[in-house]
Structure 1
Amino acid sequence: MRLEIAKTAAGAAEVAARLIATVLSISLGRRTRASIALSGGNSPLPMLKALAREPLDWSAIHVYQVDERVVARGDSARNLGSLDEILVWRGPLPRRNLHPMWVDRANLYGAAESYARELAQVAGDPAILDVVHLGLGTDGHTASLFPGDPVLEIEDR
């Protein structure tokens, strides 16, 4: 394990992007594709912008969501919007390689099951991804798992 220290948040984002790019490059050296799961929110945004500048074979990298807010498509609170804007619209990722959580479907349980199947096809069951990058909220939440939330008691999925 290596400890990397940055003097600023921007510096930490650059270091994280470089380390993630290294892992993705190593993965692509071993296989034809690499996978990364990214969380939403504000804390990962500087790293995402730095990662989008990394010289990677983006056509072989597949991006999955760690979490998503159940809000209407196009709502600024939706995590997909940032991923789409930074990595696809303004970045190097082909649209087909961004795998969104479809939380605007009427049957959320079915949408979650569908996403789990998609992940299993690519990354096995249980899913093993090359990189999972999580943000951390000021209240300690990560991956939309908030302290005290009853969803934390669920153990069967």
Structure 2
Amino acid sequence: MSEDLPRIPIPGPEAETTEKMVFLQEQIVNFLRQYSMPLLEVSLVFSKYTRQLTDALEVQARAQGESLPSILSEPWPILGEQDGETAQGPPLETLLGNLDDDRMDILDTILRSAMNATEIPLVDALMQLRQWEHLARNQLASAKGAGQLFSPLEIPDDW
């Protein structure tokens, strides 16, 4: 049965950075589409990784007397107009209690494994995850209720 599934070759450490980024992108897209992972869960995992990668790069930059550009160090701005009203919904504890920790752990493992196996530069990994974070944050900002937080992340066709 496993012979029917296409195997995506893992680029080695010596591969071009573009190949590594494509591999990471393919891994994310394939998993999120296969498991219809909810927006809230995806957002939490991407937030964790962007924070960790940013922290690691800031330490390296400070050691060299440099600083990170804001495109790397900060979340990208949310697109479109945001109305000032906050939707009322269940308490945060209720939302967090409905998360699927196992599914989040799988995405976490996929990200970590893809980055470690390819030895993708931290800057490139962070830039790629900032794009995903931006997509998720825009969808979170437009969510009208708790139900939309548990709807699958909508991935554009050209991703």
**How high is the TM-score relative to the length of structure 2?**
0.29
Higher relative contact order (CA 8 A, sep 6+): 2
- Report the structure, 1 or 2, having the larger helix content: 2
Give the strand-richer structure, 1 or 2: 1
Structure number with larger C-alpha Rg: 2
